[in-house]
Structure formats: structure tokens, C-alpha cells
Amino acid sequence: LSILAAILAIGLGGPGNDLRRVVMSRCTTFLEREDPPNRRKICQTLWDAFTGAFVGRDQCEVPLEAYDQLVHSVPQKDHCHRTLFWSKTKHVVHQFTQGTKCLVTLEDTLLGFVMDGLTWCGRNGSRKTFTTGCPRWTQCPLNPVRSFWGRVSAAFAASACGNATVMLNGSLATPFDPNSTFGSIEVKNFNSSRMTGLAVVLVASESDSATCENSSLQNLQKALDPALKYSCKVVQQSQIQGCIADPPLACGKCW
Ligand code: N1C
């Protein structure tokens, strides 16, 4: 059996095999923590649904719906009152969620965890997966990576319930960018019968004059269903770092 496996590995060698290895190993690592008995089966299903979305397709013609099956094929948990969205604050956000375990971002769920930082695409008429020579984010709108994040972000936002949080970058002139994934996809997929409110944490550094009166935040407020309770608070980056270094016993006591 191992000889057969070796021959198969050589036969399937080259681009794509690495991607499969990374995806499968991240998937099993993630599920180890949650420990469902059938994780190999779940990860194989994930890989099949994932590659089904883009293999054999032109690398600029992968619609968001191509990932519908992937989104529906993996188990999803509810994170009431714990959902954390972000835009242009990725680094501090993930330091925070990993350090405190208080809130949950898309990268703390199976699909986000597995695909974070990866690049992939297919080619017309090829059964292979590629990780180089793929379009960049802005090169064409319907590229496989961008469509993936669009589709899973929509699902993540639609599943949010209770009071959700978003960390925005207070050092920018426009902390709420309507063209970002958060602004163009997540906000539009909030379900106000599941969600009760959105708490904006405007992450500021000492040198900037971030305020909740920023006009882009007024636009965010206008874009929300009036049924959602909106709040905003400026929080210094140093305070978040302090919280990561010394997590409070009760989540929610960081700011
Ligand atoms: O465009 P953005 O931010 O507003 O997207 C962030 C928003 C988050 O709330 C996430 O739920 O959308 C979701 N999301 C990811 O989880 C994610 N992980 C990695 C969106 N994009 C994600 N990436 C990569 O970050 C993606 O490849 C793209 O290049 C950036 C978008 O980050 P942004 O502009 O700071």
C-alpha cells in the first residue's frame, strides 16, 4: 500500500499537491481541537468542495456562488455575542483573539483558519490546482481567492447573532471603507432578526486623533438596519496589547 501511495504521490506531484497538503493538515489541526471523530472525512469533503469551486475554470471567472457547496458542506458553530469583524486591523485582531479567546473571527472558524494567507487558482482545461501565477486581489474581481473570501464572509456575517463587534483602524481617514469586504459584503449580510447590535471598536494609536464622529462611521451607521443597536468606542492599541498580555478573567472587560 505504501508503494502504491508513493507512486501516486509522484504521479500527482508538482503544483497542487502542496496546496492539498497544507489544506488537509490545517483542517485536521483545527478539528483536533474540537475533536470530532470523523475529521478525516470532513477534511476530504472540504477539499473536494473547495477544489470543485475553481479547478478547470478560468482564473478570472470564479463567481462567489462557486463556493456555495463548500460553505454548506462544513460544520458551522454559533458564536452568539462573540463575533468579531475587522477591516484593516488584521494583525492586532488576531493577536487579540488568539491571546484572549474572547471573540471569534472568521479565521477562528474552520474555513477561515484553513485558507488564511493562501493563494490558489485553476486553469481552463486543467484538472490541477496552482499556487503561483494566480491573479492578485485587484487584478480581476472574480478571482478564486477574492470570491472565496467574499462568499465565506457573507456566510460568516449572516450567521452572526447577538451583539457583534468590529475593529476598525482609527489611524485611517476612512476607518469604514464601503468597498472593503466588511463594508461591501458583511454589513449587507447582517441578519437583524439574529443580530441585536454592532459595537465598533475604533483602534487608535497615541499619535492620531481618531474619533467616533468620523464621517465614514456615520455612513456605517446609516448602512445598518435601524433595528440594530449601534455603539462606538475609541480604544488605544496599547490598551488592547495590555489586555492580550494580561487577559481579564471576564471577557468584555478589556474596554
Ligand atoms: O476587506 P476587509 O479587510 O474589510 O475584510 C475583512 C472582513 C473581516 O471582517 C473578515 O470576516 O472580511 C473577512 N475577511 C477575512 O476573514 C479575511 N482573512 C484574510 C476578509 N478578507 C480576509 N483575508 C485577506 O485580507 C484577504 O485575502 C484580503 O486580501 C484582505 C482583506 O483585508 P482588509 O482590507 O483589511
In this prediction, residue 15 carries a pLDDT of 52
pLDDT tens for each residue of 19-48: 999 999 999 999 998 777 899 999 999 999
Is residue 3's pLDDT more than 70? no
DSSP sequence for 105-136: -GGGSHHHHHHTT---B--TT----BSSSPPP
* Ligand 1 binding pocket includes 120 (Cβ within 6 Å): no
Q: Is 94 in the pocket of ligand 1 (CB under 6 A)?
A: no
Q: Ligand 1 pocket: which of 151, 181, 189, 200 to mutate (most atoms <8 Å of CB)?
A: 181
User: For 213-239, what is the mean pLDDT?
Assistant: 97
CB-ligand 1 contact for 116 (6 Å cutoff): yes
Measured in Å, residue 30 CA sits from the centre of ligand 1 at: 20
Paired sense of beta strands 229-236 and 195-204, if any: parallel
The pLDDT score that the predictor gives to residue 109 is: 96
Q: What pLDDT does 249 receive?
A: 81
Comparing 79 with 52, the larger pLDDT belongs to 52
For the segment 62-72, what is each residue's pLDDT rounded down to a tens digit? Answer: 999 999 999 99
% residues pLDDT > 90 (the chain): 84
Span 178-194, pLDDT tens digits:
999 999 999 999 999 99
**The ligand 1 atom nearest the CA atom of 86:** 9
Q: How far apart are the first and last CA of the chain?
A: 57
Residue nearest to atom 9 of ligand 1 (CA): 85
Of all atoms in ligand 1, which is nearest to the CA of residue 84?
A: 9
Q: Give the pLDDT of residue 17.
A: 75
Do 170 and 204 meet the contact criterion of CB atoms below 8 Å apart?
yes
Asked if residue 139 lies in contact with residue 60, where contact means CB atoms within 8 angstroms, the answer is yes
Please give the pLDDT value at position 165: 98
Instruction: Check whether 195 has a pLDDT greater than 50.
Output: yes
**43-53 per-position pLDDT tens digit:** 999 999 999 99
Q: Alpha-carbon distance 126 to 122, whole Å?
A: 7
154, 178 in Cβ contact below 8 A? no
Exposed / middle / buried, residue 34 (Cβ in 10 Å: 0-12, 13-18, 19+)? exposed
Grid cell at residue 76: 458551522
Cα 2 to ligand 1 centroid, rounded to whole Å:
40
